Chain A
Amino acid sequence: MTEPTLTVRFFARLREELGTESLTLPASEHQTVADLLTHLASRGGAWAQLTGGQPVMVAINQSMAKPSSPVQPGDEVAFFPPVTGG
């Protein structure tokens, strides 16, 4: 049986600074968005900014979410800077 996973995506300045567009992670280790951020920030370097005070927005399955939002196997979780369109 394959392990359930999450897809994590990054956009704009975060995508560039992390040098990563998307990641696939085991789902079981992360209960909430905050757990996922802590895990990613522990990679160090540019990743530390994910918990370092700069505002990071999050969407789960393309809907805005919060640090306390639960993450489920199969979810697409996206992290990005505050939006600047228009």
Chain B
Amino acid sequence: MISIQTDDFDAGAEYEALRGTGPGTGAIVTFSGLVRDSGDLSGVTGLFLEHYPGMTEQVIQGLIDEAGRRWDVQRARVIHRVGQLALADQIVFVGVCSAHRGDAFAACEFIMDALKTSAPFWKKEITREGEHWVEQKESDVARSRNWE
């Protein structure tokens, strides 16, 4: 399931929902991404996140489907926030449950890495001095390419 929302989310409740998938689940891996104080700029006080409604959900569904073809994925959950976010706010949640940890680790990391370079979201950093659209990182592109 995929949610794109302005509201915050409860990572504990999402974990519990994954835990309720069924008796075949032996492993849950979750990732949360937060707003930190330095990115392209230092002294970041918040972010603005823009997305392309419709395409975003399609791209993420494609990544979940691909993860399901490559690994044993019993359930995958992706939440991504948009709009104005403050320092330390949660931005993104990816949770995967599987029979075994190897599949859960790999599928969660793949979805997150691929989301960063293919889902149409854009971050703008806000500092006391001004605003700056974040540039795509070569290191993120390399991480995503490693899954090809």
What residues of chain A have their CB less than 8 Å away from a CB belonging to chain B? 9, 11-13, 15-16, 55, 59, 62-64, 78, 80-86
Contacts and interface: CB of A to CB of B under 8 A. Distances in A.
Contacts of A85: 49, 51, 80, 92, 115-116, 119-123
Interface of B: 33, 49-52, 54-55, 58, 80, 91-92, 112, 115-124, 133-136, 140
B117 A81 contact: no
Contacts of B133: 12-13, 16, 81, 84
A84 B117 CA distance: 7
B144 to A, nearest CB: 10
Contact of B136 (A9, A59, A78, A83): A83
Contacts of A78: 52, 55, 120
A59 B112 contact: no
A27 B91 CA distance: 38
Tell me whether chain B's interface is mostly helix, strand or loop, or mixed. Answer: mixed
Contact of A83 (B58, B92, B120, B124): B120
A71 B92 CA distance: 34
Contacts of B112: 86
Given A62-B54, A62-B55, A82 B136 contact: yes
Chain B CB count within 10 A is highest, among A16, A59, A84, for: A84
17 contacts: A11-B120, A12-B50, A59-B55, A62-B55, A62-B58, A78-B55, A80-B120, A81-B136, A83-B116, A83-B117, A83-B121, A83-B122, A85-B51, A85-B115, A86-B33, A86-B116, A86-B121
A13 B122 contact: yes
A83 B59 CA distance: 12
Contacts of B58: 62-63
